[in-house]
Amino acid sequence: MGEGMGGTELSSIGVVIHDFKFGGSERIAIRLANYWADKGFSVTVFCASVQGEMRHLLCDSVRVVCTSPVLSRHYGSMYQLARRARRYFAENPVDFCYIPGNYHWLVTHELARLPVSSRPVLVSQISSLIYKPGRSRFRQMLFNLRMRYLLSRSDLVVAMDRMSARQSNAILHRTDTLVIPLPALDATGAPPTPRPATLSVVAAGRLTEQKGFDDLVRAFALVRRALPQAQLTICGEGEERPALEQLIRSYGLEDAVTLVGYVQNIRPYLDRNAIFVLSSRREGYGAVLLEALEAGRYVVTTDCTPAVYDIFDDGVCGKVVPPNNPKALAEGLVEALQNGRDITHLVGERVARFRINVGAQMYIAAVESKLHARRG
C-alpha cells in the first residue's frame, strides 16, 4: 500500500515503455515511476529493451522487467511489446497500468483484452498534438480512427492541457478526458537564478527534424547581424548532427554556435545563459519549457505545442513566434536579448502545478475513483 498518498488502497503499478532512449514521454514515465516507488508502491517498468541514455535515471526501488528476446525499435516492435505486456500482466496483475503517450497506445488496446479478474485500470496519456500542423485531412481522419480504435476501452485518458482534452472527448465520444498538468518538475526545485548579463541563448532536444534546429541555426545567422556578440548553445544528440554541423559551417557560425551533445541535466546551462529558445516544428507539451521557466529564463518558442497557450498567453514570460520561420524566430531572439527582462519573481506560481507531487497524486486519485466505481 502506498504511503504518503492519503491511505490509498492501491499497492501495485505497471508502467510500459519501449526502451530508455531519450524522449519526453519516457522521461515523464521514469519520473512518475520513481515518485510512486518512493511513496511505497510496488512499481514495475515493463520494457522491450533496457538500452538508452535514461536507464540510469530509474531508481533501484523500481523493478524492471525486459522482454526476452530483447526488441529494438522497428516497424511492428511496439505491437510485439504490447502482446508481451498483456501476457506478463495476466500472470503478474497490477492495480493500474500507465501507458505514456501516443507511441505506446497499442499497449492500451492489448491490455484491454485481459479478463476483468486480472485487468488493471488502464491510464493512457496523450503526449503529442492531436491535430498536427501540415497533416492532410485524410491522414487526420486515419489518426482519429486509430486513436478511437486503440483507446476506446481505456479506463482513463489523460491530456496535459484543456484544448487536447476537448479534442480527445470529441474523437473518442466521451466526456471524461482528464487534464493532468505535465509533472516535469521536482517537488521542490532549485530557486530561479538571476539572468546573466550576456547575449547568450540555450536550446535543448534531440537533434532531429522535428526540433527545427536547422531553422534555429538559420535564425541565429540573422541574430548575429544585429548582435555580433550573441552566442547559442544547443544541448542534445541525434541523427541530424552532421547536417547541423555542415549548416553551422556554411553560415560561418563556428565561433557562435556550440553543439554540446546529450546532457543529463540542463539546469546548469539554463543558469549560464540569458534566454531559452524552443525552435520545434511540433511538440507534445514541451517539458523543457517548464524547466526553463523554473530556472527563471525568458523563453522564445515557436507555436509548436499546446503549452504556449497554457503558459505564455499573456506574453510576460515568453514570446511565441510561427514555426518554420527563421526570420520571425530571429526577430523574437533579438528582442528578448535586447530587453533584458528579469522574470525570476514571476515563475514560482506559474510552474507550481507542474511539480511531480501534484501530477503523481492526481493520477492516484483518478485511479482510486475508478477502482471504487468498479467495486461499487
pLDDT at 116: 87
Is pLDDT of 133 > 80? no
Averaged pLDDT, 131-138: 88
pLDDT digits (tens, 9 = 90+) for 8-18: 578 999 999 99
pLDDT digits (tens, 9 = 90+) for 215-258: 999 999 999 999 999 999 999 999 999 999 999 999 999 999 99
Q: Return the bridge partners of 124, or none.
A: 99, 157
DSSP label at 277? E
Is pLDDT of 5 > 80? no
Cα separation of 143 and 265, whole Å? 34
How many CB atoms neighbour CB 22 within 10 A?
Answer: 16
> In angstroms, what CA-CA distances link 133 with 283, 303, 324, 325?
11, 10, 11, 14
> In angstroms, what CA-CA distances link 202 with 183, 215, 230?
22, 14, 11
Question: What are the chain's domains?
Answer: 12-183+355-375 (3.40.50.2000), 200-353 (3.40.50.2000)
DSSP string, 28-40: HHHHHHHHHHHTT
pLDDT at 375: 73
Backbone angles phi, psi at 186, to 5 degrees: -65, 160
Backbone angles phi, psi at 323, to 5 degrees: -75, 165
pLDDT at 47: 97
Place of cell 495476466: 90
How many CB atoms neighbour CB 162 within 10 A?
Answer: 13
Stated pTM of the model: 0.85
Amino acid symbol at 283: E
Cis peptide before 69 (omega within 30 of 0): yes
The H or E element containing residue 170 is helix 162-172
CA nearest to 305, candidates 227, 230, 210: 210
Local structure of 204: helix, strand or coil: strand
CA nearest to 110, candidates 165, 169, 151: 151
pLDDT at 361: 97
Cβ atoms of 358 and 183 within 8 Å: the answer is: yes
Cβ atoms of 172 and 148 within 8 Å: the answer is: yes
CA nearest to 85, candidates 60, 102, 69, 66: 66
Query: What is the residue-averaged pLDDT of the chain?
Result: 93
pLDDT digits (tens, 9 = 90+) for 193-203: 999 999 999 99
pLDDT at 8: 59
Written in H, E and C, the secondary structure of 59-79 is CCCCEEEECCCCCCCCCCHHH
Taking phi over 0 as left and psi of -120 to 50 as alpha, with beta for the rest, 93 belongs to: beta
pLDDT digits (tens, 9 = 90+) for 108-121: 999 999 998 889 99
Local structure of 142: helix, strand or coil: helix
pLDDT at 7: 53
DSSP label at 26? H
Cβ atoms of 81 and 110 within 8 Å: the answer is: no
How many CB atoms neighbour CB 214 within 10 A?
Answer: 17
pLDDT digits (tens, 9 = 90+) for 281-316: 988 888 899 999 999 999 999 998 888 888 887 888
The H or E element containing residue 209 is none
Local structure of 15: helix, strand or coil: strand
